[in-house]
A = this chain, B = another copy of it.
Amino acid sequence: MNIQLDDRRKALIEKLGIANEEKGFQPVAGRILGLLYVSPRPELTFDEIRESLNISKSATSTALNLLMHMGRVDYTTFSGDRKRYFRIKLGNWREVIQEEMEHMVKISYVLQEVLEVRKADNTANFNCNIEEFTSFLQFLYKDFPSLLQRWEKSRGKE
């Protein structure tokens, strides 16, 4: 019933788990993502996840629901089988990055407010740095589709 994971995969789960924690996921959610990345079979049941990671049902349930809510995990079912087969959503990495950029652009709007408040203050150089930063963030956001295109082009060549 338990997934067979060699030491290399176990080590990668930890690495990915930590990387995901740094990205803001709670520990169990980070491990689950890691597991779903390296699992030989990419679709795992609730209990396979729970057993592979030695975590409780509640932790498994909460984390899986969080990950599904965030659009990072989904599941399939098979008729005649009540279990859900959870899998990491990798196909949507473009949207995931897009969302991160949206977050950055939101911050840039706050910085624009800062800039407005600072107009009266006699701190031209300081303000200029803020302006540059917001301008770049917004450029990056707007330029993202073209960035994707350039990436696709760059792959074609090789």
Contact = CB atoms under 8 A, between A and B. Distances in A.
Contacts of A90: 126, 129-130, 133
Copies of this chain present: 2
Contacts of A42: 123, 126
A44 to B, nearest CB: 13
Interface stretch (A7-15, A46-54, A56-64, A76-84): A7-15
Interface of A: 8-9, 12, 15-16, 19, 22, 24, 37-38, 40-42, 90-91, 93, 97, 103, 106-107, 110-111, 113-114, 117-118, 121, 123, 126, 129-130, 132-133, 135-136, 139-140, 143, 147-148, 150-151, 154-155
Given A8-B117, A19-B106, A24-B24, 11 more contacts: A12-B110, A16-B114, A37-B111, A38-B117, A38-B118, A40-B118, A90-B133, A91-B129, A93-B136, A136-B148, A139-B150
